[in-house]
């Protein structure tokens, strides 16, 4: 008896499990693997959220953002204004277009580069804002999923929600309609 006890103590006792430790050489412990995966995902989300922190902007930053929003509407309204000017005063419009015809080609290229960089920078800023919003949404996803599951559990229109169980008397009573004296009087008058 002492020998068997010593063997079991060696294999499973004294705070160690030799069989489990030997098995973990060939197969990963699923619980420990899940904990490592969770820690890795939490670190990735934390790092991603840290990269895209939403900072409070000062008055100068808000002013510059407003100033940066002016060129596109100004160009659109200016183009519409040129169409109106061409219809209202064609001679004035033609004189202005003759002046534009004298602008050298390299200056047109420079204008094209400036406009391209401006709109490219705006596009990049908008993409970065979108990435910040996505990271915020990703952090809220587990809470939303939990809320959806709780709401789904509250639904009462699913099949079997009002299941009476295995009560035979209740099932028999549900199959047989209640007596309705008014309905029976009506049936008698119809015959």
Model pLDDT for residues 16-36, shown as the tens digit of each residue: 666 677 777 777 878 888 888
pTM tops 0.85 = no
User: In terms of pLDDT, which residue wins out, 186 or 127?
Assistant: 186
Number of separate domains in the chain: 1
Is the pLDDT at 80 greater than 90? The verdict is yes
| Domain contains 168 | no
| Domain contains 173 | no
DSSP secondary structure string for all residues of 49-87:
HHHTPPPPP-HHHHHHHHHHTSHHHHHHHHHHHHHHHHH
| Domain contains 123 | no
Half-sphere exposure of 116 (CA within 13 A, CB side): 6
| Domain contains 156 | no
| Domain contains 81 | no
| Rounded Cα–Cα distance for residues 32 and 135 (Å) | 27
| Domain contains 99 | no
| Domain contains 187 | no
Model pLDDT for residues 115-173, shown as the tens digit of each residue: 888 777 777 777 788 788 877 777 878 887 888 888 877 776 666 666 656 777 766 77
Q: Mapping DSSP to helix (H, G, I), strand (E, B) and coil, where does residue 169 land?
A: helix
Which domain does 22 fall in, by range? 1-51
Is the pLDDT at 1 greater than 60? The verdict is no
| Domain contains 30 | yes
């Amino acid at each position: 008896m002492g020998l068997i006890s010593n063997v079991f103590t060696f294999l499973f006792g004294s705070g160690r499990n030799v069989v489990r430790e030997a098995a973990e050489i060939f197969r990963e412990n699923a619980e420990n693997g899940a904990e490592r995966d969770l820690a890795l995902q939490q670190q990735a989300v934390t790092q991603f959220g840290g990269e895209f922190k939403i900072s409070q902007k000062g008055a100068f930053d808000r002013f510059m953002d407003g100033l940066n929003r002016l060129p596109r509407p100004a160009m659109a309204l200016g183009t519409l204004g040129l169409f109106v000017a061409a219809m209202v005063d064609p001679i004035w419009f033609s004189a202005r277009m003759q002046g534009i015809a004298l602008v050298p080609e390299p200056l047109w290229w420079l204008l094209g580069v400036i406009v391209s960089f401006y709109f490219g920078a705006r596009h990049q800023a908008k993409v970065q804002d979108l990435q910040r919003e996505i990271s915020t949404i990703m952090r809220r996803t587990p809470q939303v999923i939990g809320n959806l599951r709780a709401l789904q559990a509250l639904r009462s229109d699913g099949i079997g929600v009002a299941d009476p169980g295995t009560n035979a008397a209740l099932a028999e009573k549900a199959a047989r309609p209640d007596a309705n004296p008014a309905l029976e009087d009506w049936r008698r008058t119809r015959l």
